[in-house]
Structure 1
Amino acid sequence: IKKKQQDVLGFLEALKIDYAQLDIASNENNRQWMRANVPGEKKPTSGIPLPPQIFNEEMYCGDYDTFFDAKEDNSVYEFLGLTPPAGFKVVFFLLDNLTIYISPYKTWKKCQ
């Protein structure tokens, strides 16, 4: 769990993408938003998707495995739906119950 979180964070830092961390374990609204916005085919048989689930605003990008594949293929910006280095915002839900909000303009947005 921690290794996957560190992988995402390290990659964001290497790309110099600003981020903030929010704990989804203590925020029911954020947790419910994440669960509600993961597509059905990505939900486990239990029906409850576990972080990390990666979003660009409300657009679902993928889970950690999909992120890892995109990283290996050098297609992370495409995976995130971004054109580097244009302005963008991405929401990351990490495995240790953290949410990361990203914006180059430091205009952080919380999930409602």
Structure 2
Amino acid sequence: IKKKQQEVVGFLEANKIDFQQMDIAGDEDNRKWMRENVPGEKKPQNGIPLPPQIFNEERYCGDFESFFSAKEENIIYSFLGLAPPPGTKVCTAV
């Protein structure tokens, strides 16, 4: 879990994307908020989603696997619900 969290944070920092990291290990309110705001279809069978879970404000973006796929497919800004910075190459299908 820690390695996945570090990968997400490292990517966001390297791309100068503002973010706020929420501690769910030591903060019951944050843990409860995450569990309540991950959509049902994204929750594992035990009902407890594992971090990292990625949100843009109240909007659920996805889990680590979704983040990784979006990064690999060069659609990370869309995944995060952000406009790409000027000069960013954006893939388009023709």
In structure 1, the gaps of 5 or more residues are: 86-112
Query: Which one has more relative contact order, counting CA pairs under 8 Å at least 6 apart?
Result: 1
Q: SS of the counterpart of 2:74?
A: coil
Pairing 1:1-112 to 2, within 5 Å after superposition: 1-85=1-85
Q: Distance in 2 between the 1:45 and 1:55 partners?
A: 21
For 1:101, the equivalent position in structure 2 comes to: none
Alignment: residue pair count: 86
Give the structure with higher Rg (CA). 2
Identity of aligned residues (%): 73
Q: Which has the higher strand share?
A: 1
The ranges of structure 1 where at least 4 consecutive aligned residues each deviate by more than 6 angstroms after the TM superposition are: none
Q: Distance in 1 between the 2:6 and 2:48 partners?
A: 23
Distance 1:75 1:41, change over 3 A: same
Q: SS of the counterpart of 1:25?
A: coil
In structure 2, the gaps of 5 or more residues are: 86-94
Q: Distance in 1 between the 2:81 and 2:70 partners?
A: 12
Cα RMSD for the two superposed structures: 1.7
1:32-82 residue CA offsets vs partner (Å, 9 max, x unmatched): 000000011111110111111111111111000000000001111000011
Q: Which has the higher helix share?
A: 2
